[in-house]
């Protein structure tokens, strides 16, 4: 294995006494992010003021960092750009894909998709009207539901709750065979598993940078469009920074070159500085090594939890090839159990109605973390330490 995960772990700030198994929700802080953000604030914003847009390369950052992320998801340079939140990028990708299939009415998704993606699709269908329809089926029924009326297949590759992974290449081939386009949400894929957007012939993809890519809370999302489609895409959110010449201040919109047209407005420069620091760590590893280590960690975790905590039921696929980089267990008191774990320094999260979710991120998760977390989980389950009123009280974010 060429990737040195002991070296990468040292490049993260991990609080003392904490075993962090929630990088699938919010990645920890790269040590260098603090200095990079500080330099961005002090030397660039502070000293350069507005000239930073040119002098510090702020305006190029969405495309430059997009290319850095592109390397991790099999995207050619010039096909990924950053900005906005993932929900906005879902809207943009879906709206553009629908416009490219004017005669067709159906968006197909699944009931395992992240609710925001479904809400966005529903809102878009309502505003476009014209008989368009969002159809959702069970994840296992997606392939059979692909038919000649399909405009866009819109899926999240790795299920946020269970970690179940769709067969992306197979579903793309099936959708393309009926003349439909595909939009993939890579929120739980980018930095988690090997993704080959170009090889699988994806049309559109979107994802976030604050989970496995460690850009910090509120870090920008990314969007990918296959190079063969970029010139045909007319952005629905036609903001000024997606214009061919933003500083011409024309009254008419003309889409920018290639993927640049998917930019909307002013990008979050300070947050991108943090992401830039994180991507330096990503440059030290290959996704093949990350995936191999992730499978070792998740396999060990499943085996140990099942041996130590029989009351927990595995909610993730048992076959590592069929899951992402997270492992989920079910228990009707899952929320209280997770609060008890967090109180003892093991941070995962809870997803309603009954899912305990644990993310494994080889850049900083070790086998000792796996062993340590299972020992604490065993103690909590064995002694019913979760059974306290304070652990049942729901916080705003779970
Ligand atoms: C699969 C998936 N899609 C979309 C989103 C929404 O992302 P955002 O809050 O950046 O809009 C999330 C957030 O966790 C997600 O997991």
Q: What is the pLDDT of residues 58-76, one digit of tens each?
A: 999 999 999 999 999 999 9
Mean of the pLDDT values across residues 277-288? 98
List pocket residues of ligand 1, CB cut-off 6 Å. 85-87, 114, 116-117, 156, 160, 185, 187-188, 208, 221
Instruction: Supply the pTM of this predicted model.
Output: 0.98
Please choose, from the candidates 137, 157, 158, 156, the residue with its C-alpha nearest in 3D space to the C-alpha of residue 147: 137
- CA distance linking residue 155 with residue 33, whole number of Å: 32
Q: How far apart are CA 246 and CA 4, in angstroms?
A: 43
Distance 119 CA to ligand 1 centre (A): 11
The residue to mutate among 156, 187, 205, having the most atoms of ligand 1 within 8 angstroms of its beta carbon, is: 187
For residue 373, report the distance from its CA to the centre of ligand 1, in Å: 26
Averaged pLDDT, 231-248: 97
Q: Give residue-wise pLDDT tens across range 83-126.
A: 999 999 999 999 999 999 999 999 999 999 999 999 999 999 99
- Residue carrying structure tokens 């990918």: 224
Cβ-contact 8, 22 below 8 angstroms:
no
pLDDT tens digits, 144-157: 999 999 999 999 99
Please compute the mean of the pLDDT values over residues 34-41 and round it to a whole number: 98
The percent helix, strand, coil of the chain (3-state, each to 5) is: 45, 15, 40
Tell me 131's DSSP state. Answer: T
Q: Please tell me the residue having the least CA distance from ligand 1 atom 7.
A: 86
* Confidence (pLDDT) at 198: 98
Secondary structure element (H or E) that encloses residue 349, with its range: strand 349-351
Position 1 pLDDT exceeds 80: no
Angle (CA) 328-329-333 rounded to 5° is 130
Q: Which of 92, 111, 116 to mutate to test the pocket of ligand 1 (most atoms within 8 A of CB)?
A: 116
Catalytic residues: 114, 185, 210-211, 357
pLDDT score recorded for residue 316? 98
Mean pLDDT over 374-390 rounds to: 97
Q: Do 3 and 290 touch, CB atoms closer than 8 A?
A: yes
**Token pair in block for residue 227:** 């190079």
Residue 398 confidence (pLDDT): 83
- Model confidence pLDDT, tens digit, residues 93-102: 999 999 999 9
- Inter-axis angle of helices 287-308 and 367-382, nearest 10: 20
Nearest to 37 by CA among 218, 248, 195: 218
Do 188 and 24 touch, CB atoms closer than 8 A?
Answer: yes
For residue 89, the ligand 1 atom closest to its alpha carbon is: 11
Percent above pLDDT 70 for the chain: 100
Share the mean pLDDT of the chain: 97
- Whether residue 204 contacts residue 93, with contact meaning beta carbons closer than 8 Å, is answered with yes
Calpha distance 244→238 (Å, rounded): 11
Residue found by looking up tokens 């009415």 in the block: 105
Site to substitute for ligand 1 among 160, 195, 211, most atoms within 8 A of C-beta? 160
Q: Which residues, 6+ apart, have CB-to-CB distance to 109 below 8 Å?
A: 117, 118, 121, 134, 135, 136, 153, 154, 155
The Cα 306–Cα 377 span in angstroms is 11
Mutating to test ligand 1, I would choose from 208, 218, 351 the residue with most ligand atoms within 8 A of its C-beta, which is 208
Residue nearest to atom 8 of ligand 1 (CA): 86
Report the separation in Å between the CA atom of 116 and the middle of ligand 1, taken as the mean of its atom positions.
Answer: 7
Cα 214 to averaged position of ligand 1 atoms, centre (Å): 14
pLDDT at 368: 98
Ligand 1 atom showing the smallest separation from residue 87 Cα: 11
Q: What angle do CA 76, 24, 263 make, to 5 degrees?
A: 40
CB within 8 A of 247, min separation 6: which ones? none
Higher pLDDT, 136 or 398: 136
Q: How much distance in Å is there from the Cα of 281 to the middle of ligand 1?
A: 23
Q: What is the pLDDT of residue 384?
A: 96
Q: Compute, in angstroms, the gap from residue 172 CA to the centroid of ligand 1.
A: 22
State the distance from the centre of ligand 1 to the C-alpha of 239, rounded, in angstroms: 22
Which atom, in ligand 1's list, is nearest to the CA of 25?
14
Confidence band, pLDDT 50/70/90 cuts, at residue 57: very high
Residue whose CA is closest, atom 3 of ligand 1?
114
Q: What is the pLDDT of residue 241?
A: 98
| Start-end of H helices in 146-255 | 168-177, 227-230
State pLDDT tens for residues 160-172: 999 999 999 999 9
Q: Which is it for strands 355-359 and 326-330: parallel, antiparallel or unpaired?
A: antiparallel
The pLDDT score that the predictor gives to residue 386 is 96
């Amino acid at each position: 294995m060429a990737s040195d995960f002991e070296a990468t772990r040292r490049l993260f700030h991990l609080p003392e006494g904490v075993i962090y198994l929630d990088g699938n929700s919010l990645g920890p802080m790269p040590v260098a992010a603090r200095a990079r953000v500080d330099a961005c604030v002090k030397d660039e914003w502070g000293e350069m003021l507005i000239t930073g847009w040119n002098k510090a390369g702020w305006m190029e950052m969405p495309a430059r960092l997009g290319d850095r992320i592109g390397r991790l998801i099999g995207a050619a340079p010039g096909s990924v750009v950053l900005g906005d939140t993932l929900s906005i990028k879902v809207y943009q990708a879906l709206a553009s894909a629908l416009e490219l299939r004017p005669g067709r009415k159906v968006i197909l998704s699944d009931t395992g998709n992240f609710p925001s993606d479904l809400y966005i699709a529903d809102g878009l269908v309502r505003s476009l009207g014209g008989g368009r329809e969002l159809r959702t089926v069970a994840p296992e029924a997606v392939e059979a539901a692909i038919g000649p009326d399909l405009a866009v297949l819109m899926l999240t590759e790795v299920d946020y709750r269970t970690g179940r992974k769709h067969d992306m290449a197979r579903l793309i081939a099936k959708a393309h065979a009926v003349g439909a386009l595909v939009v993939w949400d890579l929120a739980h894929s980018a930095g988690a598993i090997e993704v080959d957007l170009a090889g699988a012939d994806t049309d559109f993809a979107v994802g976030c940078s604050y989970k496995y890519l460690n850009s910090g809370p509120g870090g920008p999302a990314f969007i990918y469009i296959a190079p063969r489609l970029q010139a045909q895409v007319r952005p629905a959110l036609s903001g000024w920074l997606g214009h061919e010449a933003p500083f011409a201040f024309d009254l008419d919109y003309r889409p920018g070159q290639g993927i640049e047209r998917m930019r909307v407005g002013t990008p979050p420069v300070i947050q991108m500085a943090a992401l830039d620091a994180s991507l330096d760590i990503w440059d030290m590893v290959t996704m093949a090594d990350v995936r191999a280590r992730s499978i070792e960690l998740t396999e060990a975790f499943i085996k140990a939890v099942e041996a130590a905590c029989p009351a927990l039921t595995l909610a993730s696929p048992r076959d590592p090839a069929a899951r992402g980089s997270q492992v989920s267990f079910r228990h009707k008191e899952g929320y209280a159990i997770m609060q008890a774990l967090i109180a003892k320094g093991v941070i995962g999260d809870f997803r309603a109605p009954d899912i305990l979710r644990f993310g494994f991120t080889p850049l900083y998760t070790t086998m000792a973390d796996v062993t340590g977390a299972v020992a604490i989980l065993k103690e909590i389950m064995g002694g019913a330490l979760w059974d306290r009123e304070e652990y049942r009280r729901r916080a705003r974010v779970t």
